[in-house]
Chains A and B, each alone.
Chain A
Amino acid sequence: MTAEEATTPQVERPPASVAGPWGWARANLFSTPWNTFLTLASIAVLGWALPPALDWLIFNAVWGHVKPEVCKQADGACWAFISEKYRLILFGRYPFKEQWRPVLAVCALIAMIIFSCNRRFWRAWLGAVWLAGLAIFGTLMWGGVFGLMPVETNLWGGLPLTLILAVVGVVVAFPLSILLALGRRSRMPIVRSFSVAYIELIRGVPLISLLFMASFMLPLFLPNTIKINALLRAQVAIIMFTAAYLAEVVRGGLQSIPKGQYEAAQALGLGFGQMMWKVVLPQAIRAVIPPIVNTFIGMFKDTSLVAIVSLTDLLLATKQAISDPNWRAFFIEGYVFVAFIYFIFCFFMSKYSQHLEKSLRAGERR
C-alpha cells in the first residue's frame, strides 16, 4: 500500500435506498403506510381530474376567431370568446380606435413599476420618475393635448382603470399612512385619539360601505359647485381604506425600532422631522416591507370592488363581455382569463416580496 493510496479518502456512495430518485421517493412518498396511502390517493385524484381539465383547457379547446355556434359544438374551452372580446375586457368602453393609448399607458405604468423594483433605484429621484410616469399615463388616457382626442373618465375601463386605482391608491395612501402611524404613537393626546379613531373606524367597516359612502354621500358633503366624477370618488374611498391598513403596518415597523435609536438621534441634536426622516423611518419601513407588499396585494384585489358601484374595471368589463347573449355560455373562459391576469400581478408581487425579505435580511445573517 503506497502512501498516496492510504491518504486518498475512500468515498463510499450512499446505499441506493437513501440516495437517488428511489431514495427520494421512499423518504417523501412512501415513508409510512399513511404516507403511501396519501400518495396513492392524491395520484388517483390527479389522474381523475387532470386529464379532463387539460382536455378542456387545451386539447379540445377552440382557438382563433370563430362563431359561437362552432364553440357550442366543441367539448373544450372556447378561447375564441377571448379573441372576440379581449379588447372589451382589457379596455372597457374606451373608444375603439383610440385603444392604442391605454396600451401605451399600461405599458408605461408597468415599466415604471418594474423599474422601481430594483433596490439600486430607491432614491429620492424615484418620486420624480413616478410623477412623470403618472403624468404620461394621464396624458395618454385623458388626451386633449398634442392632438389627442379627449376621453372622459367615465369611458375608461378594464386593465388601465384597475391599475390606476391601485397605483394612485398606493402613492397617496402611503404618505398618509406614515402620518397616521406617527400620529398614533404621538405623545399629544388629541393627535393620538384622532389617529386611533380614524384607523379603527375604517378598519372596522367593509370597503364596500366606504365605496357606497363615496358614491352616494360625497356629493351631499360637497357644495353644489364642486362636481367630482365616479372614478375620483372610488379612488378617495380606496385611498382612505388603504391608508388605515397601511398605517397599522407602519406602526408595527415603528414599534420594532429600539428606543436607543430615538435617543441617539436626539443626542445628535436632530429635531423631530430629521430624527424621523433620517433615522427612524428608513429602518422602520425596511423592517415591514413584506407586510407592506402584502397590503398592496390585498388592495390590488380589492380594486375589483369598484365593480359594485358600476365602474367598468377589469372585472365588470369581463361581466359585460359575458352578458352578450351569443357568448353567454362561455362565462368560465371569461372568468378564467381575468383570474389569470389578476393572478399574474399578485403572484409577481408576492414573489417579489419574498425576494425582498430575503435580500433585506442579508445583513443580519451570520
Chain B
Amino acid sequence: MADQDRTIHVPPRPSPWNDPKIRAIIYQIVLIAGVVALGVFLVSNTLTNLQQRQIRTGYGFLDQEAGFFIGETLIPYEAASSYGRAFLVGLLNTLKVSVIGVVLATILGTIIGIARLSQNWIVRRLSSAYVETLRNIPLLLHLFFWYAALTNLLPDTERAANLGLNIFLSKEGLRYPWPEVEPAHIWALTALPFGIAGAVAFSKWAHARQMKTGRQIPLLWPSLAIILGVPLVVWLVGGAPAQFEIPEKTNFGHDGGAAVTPEFMALILGLVTYTASFIAEIVRAGILAVSWGQSEAAGALGLRRGPTLRLVVLPQALRVIIPPMTSQFLNLTKNSSLAVAIGYPDLVSVANTTLNQTGQAIECISLIMAVYLTVSLSIAGAMNWYNRRIALVER
C-alpha cells in the first residue's frame, strides 16, 4: 500500500491532436505552405503576365538614358542622364524636404505645444484652435491648397514682390541672394566638424574639472564660440570673401542668386503646419508628464530656473517626448511622398515618371519601398538603442 502511495501520478499524454506542441508545429507548417503556395501563385501569374505584355524585367533600365527633365536638383542632372541618376536626384530631394521639414515642424510644434500650456487664456485658446483645425484636415488637401494659393495668388514673375534684402517672391517661387562660391567658403565648411569636435572636447574637460574641483564652468557660450569661431577664423584667413550673387531683373522675371520653387514651398508649408499640430500635442503631453513636485524639489535644492529646466524637467520630459516624436519625423518623411500630387520631383514622383516611361512597375515600386524601408528601419533601430539607453533603471 505504502509503495503505491509513493508513485507519482504522471498525467496521461494527450492524444497527438490535442498536444499543444504538435499542434503548434502543424499550424506553422500549414502557414508556411499557405504562404509558399500564395507566393508561387503570384510569381507564376506575374511571369506569364510580364511575358504576355512583353515587359522587360530587371534593373538594367537604371543605366539607360532617362530623357526627362527634373525641375530642381541638388546634384548635376540633365535629361541625358541615366534613370539611376534620376532616382538619386529624387532621393536627395526627398531627404532635403524631410530634413528641412523636420527642423521647421519641431520648432513650430514646440512653440505651439508650449503655448497650449500658457497661463494666458487667449494664447491657450488660439493654439488649441490651431491644433484642432489643422490636424483634422487631410494633408493632401493642405498641399493642394498651398500649391494653388502660391501659384494663383502670388504676383507674376515680371512683377515679383521684393521682400527686402533682394529677396523676390513670385509665382515662380522665392529667389534670394546667395554667396558666390569661393574656396574660403569651402574651407570654412570643412572646418566646421573640427569646431564641433573642439566643443565636445571642451565640454568633456569641463565635466572632468567639475568632478575634480566641484566648480562649474559655463558651457553654452564657450562651446558656441568654439563651434562657430573655428570656421570663422578659417574664413577670415582665407580673405573673408563676401560677394553675394544678387537676383537680377531680366525680361522674364529674375535670374541669378538661389531659388526655391513654389512646389517646394507648398510641400514645406503643408508638411510643417500639419506635422506641427501633432508635435504640439506630443510636447504638451511630455511637459505635463513631469510632475510639478520635480520642479519644486529642484528649487528646494537651490537650483535656479535655468538649471531646473535643463537638468531636471527636460531630461524627464524628453524621455516621454522622443519616441512619439521620432514616429512623427518618420511620418513626415513618408508623407513627403505626397509631393507627387503637386509635382515636386521627390523619389516617388521620379519613380512614377520612370514607371510610366518604362512600364517596369515592379522594379520602380520596389525601389521606392526599399528606400523608405531602409530609412524607417534604421531610424527605428537607432530609436530602440536610444530608448534602452535612457530607460529608467528600476531596482
Interfacial residues, chain A to chain B (CB-CB below 8 A): 28-29, 31-32, 35, 38-39, 42-43, 46, 187-191, 194, 200-201, 203-209, 212-213, 216-217, 219-224, 297, 301-302, 304-305, 307-308, 315, 319, 322, 329, 331-332, 335, 338-339, 342-343, 346-347, 350
Specify the chain B residue showing the minimal Cβ separation from A331: B148
Chain A proximity of B264: nearest CB distance (Å): 18
8 closest cross-chain pairs (CB), A and B = A204-B376, A346-B136, A216-B361, A28-B121, A206-B334, A301-B138, A304-B138, A190-B28
A217→B35 CA distance, assembly (Å): 18
Q: Does the CB pair B368–A301 fall under 8 Å?
A: no
- Given known contacts A28-B119, A208-B348, A347 and B132 CB-to-CB distance under 8 angstroms: yes
Q: Does the CB pair A31–B119 fall under 8 Å?
A: yes
Chain A proximity of B285: nearest CB distance (Å): 13
Identify the stretch in B44-52, B80-88, B208-216 within 8 Å (CB) of chain A at 4 or more residues: B44-52
Residue tally, chain B, CB below 8 Å to A: 53
Q: Does the CB pair A42–B123 fall under 8 Å?
A: yes
- Given known contacts A216-B365, A331-B152, A346-B136, A38 and B31 CB-to-CB distance under 8 angstroms: no
- Choice from B46, B335, B338, B376 contacting A203 with Cβ under 8 Å: B376
Q: Does the CB pair B340–A208 fall under 8 Å?
A: yes
Q: Does the CB pair A208–B338 fall under 8 Å?
A: yes
Asked if B141 is an interface residue, CB under 8 A from chain A, the answer is yes
Asked if B221 is an interface residue, CB under 8 A from chain A, the answer is no
Asked if B181 is an interface residue, CB under 8 A from chain A, the answer is no
A42→B123 CA distance, assembly (Å): 7
A residues near B118, Cβ cutoff 8 Å: 38
Specify the chain B residue showing the minimal Cβ separation from A36: B120
Specify the chain B residue showing the minimal Cβ separation from A187: B24
A residues near B341, Cβ cutoff 8 Å: 307-308
- Given known contacts A35-B119, A35-B120, A190-B32, A206 and B144 CB-to-CB distance under 8 angstroms: no
Asked if B362 is an interface residue, CB under 8 A from chain A, the answer is yes
- Given known contacts A190-B28, A194-B31, A221-B46, A213 and B340 CB-to-CB distance under 8 angstroms: no
Q: Does the CB pair B28–A302 fall under 8 Å?
A: no
Q: Does the CB pair B136–A315 fall under 8 Å?
A: no
B residues near A194, Cβ cutoff 8 Å: 31, 35
- Choice from A38, A203, A204, A339 contacting B123 with Cβ under 8 Å: A38
B residues near A203, Cβ cutoff 8 Å: 376
Q: Does the CB pair A188–B141 fall under 8 Å?
A: no
Q: Does the CB pair B362–A212 fall under 8 Å?
A: no
Hey, what's the 0/1 contact readout for B323-352 against A, CB within 8 Å counting as 1?
Answer: 000000000001101101100000010001
Specify the chain B residue showing the minimal Cβ separation from A192: B28
A residues near B135, Cβ cutoff 8 Å: 346
Specify the chain B residue showing the minimal Cβ separation from A272: B20
A residues near B355, Cβ cutoff 8 Å: 212, 216
Chain A proximity of B154: nearest CB distance (Å): 14
Specify the chain A residue showing the minimal Cβ separation from B274: A301
Chain A proximity of B323: nearest CB distance (Å): 13
- Choice from A28, A220, A322 contacting B120 with Cβ under 8 Å: A28
A307→B101 CA distance, assembly (Å): 23
B residues near A46, Cβ cutoff 8 Å: 122, 126
B residues near A338, Cβ cutoff 8 Å: 141
- Given known contacts A209-B365, A335-B144, A308 and B340 CB-to-CB distance under 8 angstroms: yes
Q: Which of chain B's residues 100-118 have a Cβ closer than 8 Å to chain A?
A: 118
A residues near B340, Cβ cutoff 8 Å: 208, 308
Chain B proximity of A180: nearest CB distance (Å): 13
B residues near A208, Cβ cutoff 8 Å: 337-338, 340, 348
B residues near A35, Cβ cutoff 8 Å: 119-120
> What are 17 A-to-B residue pairs whose CB atoms are below 8 Å?
A29-B122, A35-B120, A38-B118, A43-B122, A187-B24, A206-B372, A208-B337, A208-B338, A216-B355, A219-B49, A221-B46, A222-B45, A302-B138, A308-B340, A331-B149, A332-B148, A338-B141
A residues near B352, Cβ cutoff 8 Å: 212
Q: Which of chain B's residues 289-347 have a Cβ closer than 8 Å to chain A?
A: 334-335, 337-338, 340-341
B residues near A187, Cβ cutoff 8 Å: 24
Asked if B385 is an interface residue, CB under 8 A from chain A, the answer is no
Q: Does the CB pair B368–A205 fall under 8 Å?
A: yes
Chain A proximity of B53: nearest CB distance (Å): 8
B residues near A207, Cβ cutoff 8 Å: 334
- Choice from B120, B145, B338, B369 contacting A29 with Cβ under 8 Å: B120
Asked if B8 is an interface residue, CB under 8 A from chain A, the answer is no
Q: Does the CB pair A221–B120 fall under 8 Å?
A: no
Asked if B384 is an interface residue, CB under 8 A from chain A, the answer is no
Asked if B167 is an interface residue, CB under 8 A from chain A, the answer is no
- Given known contacts A209-B365, A216-B365, A319-B144, A305 and B338 CB-to-CB distance under 8 angstroms: yes
- Choice from A212, A220, A297 contacting B49 with Cβ under 8 Å: A220
Given contacts A209-B369, A213-B365, A315-B141, 18 further A-B contacts (CB under 8 A): A29-B120, A32-B119, A38-B120, A42-B123, A42-B126, A188-B24, A206-B337, A206-B372, A208-B337, A208-B348, A209-B348, A209-B365, A213-B369, A216-B355, A304-B140, A332-B149, A346-B137, A350-B132
- Choice from B35, B52, B138, B348 contacting A224 with Cβ under 8 Å: B52
A331→B153 CA distance, assembly (Å): 11
Specify the chain A residue showing the minimal Cβ separation from B379: A204
Asked if B377 is an interface residue, CB under 8 A from chain A, the answer is yes
A residues near B220, Cβ cutoff 8 Å: none
Chain B proximity of A341: nearest CB distance (Å): 10
B residues near A39, Cβ cutoff 8 Å: 120, 122-123
Hey, what's the 0/1 contact readout for B129-157 against A, CB within 8 Å counting as 1?
Answer: 00011011111110011001100100000
Specify the chain A residue showing the minimal Cβ separation from B132: A347
Chain A proximity of B341: nearest CB distance (Å): 5
A212→B348 CA distance, assembly (Å): 10
- Choice from B48, B132, B368, B377 contacting A209 with Cβ under 8 Å: B368
A242→B44 CA distance, assembly (Å): 28
